[in-house]
């Protein structure tokens, strides 16, 4: 199972996540997120990862052409798009080798790859809020590469994995000491709990 730690902002965050066994590392490019980092910092953090985990640029309020440019500059492997329309997701998927699409699980049934994406991330109704949500909203879980996100923490990830059997899990606020600041002990605990499930 893929485990992604998102919203990393310091070299030590990256080192801890890699040492603890994260499969993917998320870096946020956004004008509104407390986890946002500059394109220059993202490039630095990708260098720290040094190929030890999949690097992901997470975007939601920049144009697709800008997102693609930033992804190229940073040297990330995956472009993860949040809140974009179908045409924009198709544009990103056609232009970038690996694109992940994120959407609220409450938006109804979704099929992995229907807009050209490699993986589908199903999130809480308020992405990045850290709020837990009713996994019953998923209805029938998608087939293929889908990632569960939203309100996960070291305390609940194992149960969530057992309940809905995702291809991967994604955490950000559930491993923070304060909004936007990672707690390295919680990062390690999350990875241990997710792997143990």
Known catalytic residues are 6, 123
Placement of tokens 């709990």 in the chain: 193
**Cα distances (angstroms) measured from residue 12 to each of 19, 48, 139:** 10, 9, 38
Residue partners of 76: CB distance under 8 A and separation at least 6: 27, 42, 46, 55, 56, 57
Which of these, 101, 23, 93, 90, lies nearest to 60 by C-alpha position?
Answer: 101
Q: Where are the alpha helices (DSSP H) in 6-120?
A: 11-20, 39-49, 64-74, 86-95
């Amino acid at each position: 199972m893929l485990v992604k730690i998102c919203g990393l902002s310091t070299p030590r965050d990256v080192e801890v996540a890699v040492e603890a066994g994260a499969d993917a590392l998320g870096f946020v490019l956004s004008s509104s997120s407390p986890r946002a980092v500059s394109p220059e910092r993202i490039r630095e953090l990708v260098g720290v990862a040094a190929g030890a985990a999949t690097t992901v640029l997470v975007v939601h309020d920049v144009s697709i052409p800008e997102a693609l440019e930033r992804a190229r500059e940073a040297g990330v492997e995956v472009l993860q798009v949040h809140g974009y329309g179908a045409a924009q997701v198709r544009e990103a998927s056609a232009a970038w080798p690996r694109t992940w699409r994120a959407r609220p699980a409450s938006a109804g049934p979704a099929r992995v790859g229907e807009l050209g994406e490699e993986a589908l991330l199903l999130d809480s109704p308020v992405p990045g809020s850290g709020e837990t949500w009713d996994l019953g909203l998923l209805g029938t879980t998608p087939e293929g590469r889908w990632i569960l996100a939203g309100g996960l923490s070291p305390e609940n990830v194992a149960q969530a994995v057992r309940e809905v059997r995702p291809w991967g899990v994604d955490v950000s606020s559930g491993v923070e000491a304060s909004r936007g600041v990672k707690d390295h002990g919680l990062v390690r605990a999350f990875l241990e709990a997710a792997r143990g499930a």
